[in-house]
Chain A
Amino acid sequence: MSLLTPERPEPAPTPPPTAAATSRFDLRRFGLAVAAPALAVVVALAVASIALLVSGSNPLTVYARMLEEGTTLRSALITVNNAVPLYLSGLAVALGFRMGLFNIGVEGQYQLAALLAAAAGAAVVLPGPLHLLFVVLVAMVVGAMWAGVAAVLKTTRGVSEVISTIMLNVIAGGIAAYLLSTYLQERVEGSNNSRTPRLDESARFPNLDPVLRAFGVEPPQGTRLGGFVLVAAVVGVVYWLLVSRSRFGFDLRATGLSPSASVASGVNAKRMTIVTMLMSGAIAGLVGLPQLVGSSYAYGLDFTSGLGFTGIGVALLGRGSPVGVAIGALLFAFLERSSATLQRIDVPTEIYVIMQGSIVLSVVVAYEAVRRIGVAQAERAVRRAVDPEVAA
Chain B
Amino acid sequence: MTDPSVPVVRLQGITKRVPGVVANRDVELTVRAGEVHAVVGENGAGKSTLMKILYGMQRPDEGTIEINGSPARFRDPGEAIAAGIGMVHQHFMLADNLTVLENVVLGAEPRKGLRLDTDAARTRINDLSDRYGLGVDPDALVEQLGVGDRQRVEILKVLFRGARVLILDEPTAVLVPHEVDELFASLAGLRAEGVSVIFISHKLDEVLRVADAVTVLRQGTTVTTVDPRTVTARQLAELMVGSELPTPETRESTVTSMVELTVEHLTVRSPEGRPVVEDVSLQVHRGEVLGIAGVEGNGQVELVEALLGLRASTGTVRLGDRDISDWSTRERREGGIGYVPEDRHRQGLLLPATLWENRILGHQGRKPARRGLWIDRGAAKADTERIVREYGVRTPGVGVPAFALSGGNQQKLVVGREMSGDPSLLVASHPTRGVDVGAQAQLWDHLREARRSGLAVLLVSADLEELIGLSDTLVVMLRGRLVATLDPASTTPESLGSAMTGATA
Contact = CB atoms under 8 A, between A and B. Distances in A.
B438 interface: yes
B23 A17 contact: no
B239 to A, nearest CB: 6
A21 B396 contact: yes
Contact of B341 (A2, A15, A254, A264): A264
A382 B404 contact: yes
Interface stretch (B198-206, B257-265, B367-375): B367-375
Given A247-B374, A260-B346, A265-B361, A382 B220 contact: no
Contact of B347 (A15, A16, A264, A380): A264
Contact of A261 (B231, B238, B349, B396): B349
A10 B388 CA distance: 18
B330 interface: yes
B363 to A, nearest CB: 8
Interface string A370-391: 0000011011111111110010
Contact of A382 (B231, B346, B405): B405
B498 interface: no
Range class of the B interface residue count: 35 or more
A286 to B, nearest CB: 23
Interface string B1-37: 0000000000000000001101101000000000000
Contacts of A18: 397
Interface in A175-224: none
A266 interface: yes
A302 B398 CA distance: 54
B244 interface: yes
Contact of A14 (B374, B394, B406): B394
Contacts of A72: none
Contacts of A379: 19-20, 403-404
Contacts of B404: 375, 378-379, 381-382
Q: Is the interface of B mostly helix, strand, loop or mixed?
A: loop
A390 B392 contact: no
A295 interface: no
A25 B365 contact: no
A382 to B, nearest CB: 4
A139 B487 CA distance: 67
Contacts of A378: 400-401, 403-404
Contacts of B19: 375-376, 379-380
Contacts of B243: 1, 5, 8, 10
Contact of B330 (A5, A21, A258, A268): A268
A247 B375 contact: yes
Contact of B396 (A17, A258, A266, A375): A17
A30 B317 CA distance: 48
Contacts of A22: 396-399
B219 A257 contact: no
B310 interface: yes
Interface string B367-390: 000100111010000000100110
Contacts of A258: 346, 349-351
A30 to B, nearest CB: 12
Nearest to B352: A257
B69 interface: no
Nearest to B396: A385
A68 B392 CA distance: 60
A160 B451 CA distance: 46
A4 interface: yes
Nearest to B232: A4
Given A15-B396, A245-B374, A265-B363, 13 more contacts: A4-B239, A5-B242, A17-B395, A245-B375, A249-B375, A253-B353, A254-B353, A266-B364, A266-B365, A267-B364, A268-B330, A378-B400, A385-B397
The 9 lowest CB-CB distance pairs between A and B, nearest first, are A266-B330, A17-B397, A385-B396, A265-B362, A379-B20, A264-B347, A382-B404, A378-B404, A257-B350
12 contacts: A4-B231, A4-B239, A5-B239, A17-B398, A261-B347, A266-B365, A376-B20, A378-B401, A381-B396, A382-B395, A382-B404, A387-B219
Interface of B: 19-20, 22-23, 25, 219-220, 223-224, 231, 235, 238-239, 242-244, 308, 310, 328-334, 339, 341, 346-353, 357, 360-365, 370, 373-375, 377, 385, 388-389, 392-401, 403-406, 438
Interface of A: 1-2, 4-6, 8, 10-11, 13-18, 21-22, 25-26, 245-251, 253-254, 257-258, 260-268, 375-376, 378-387, 390
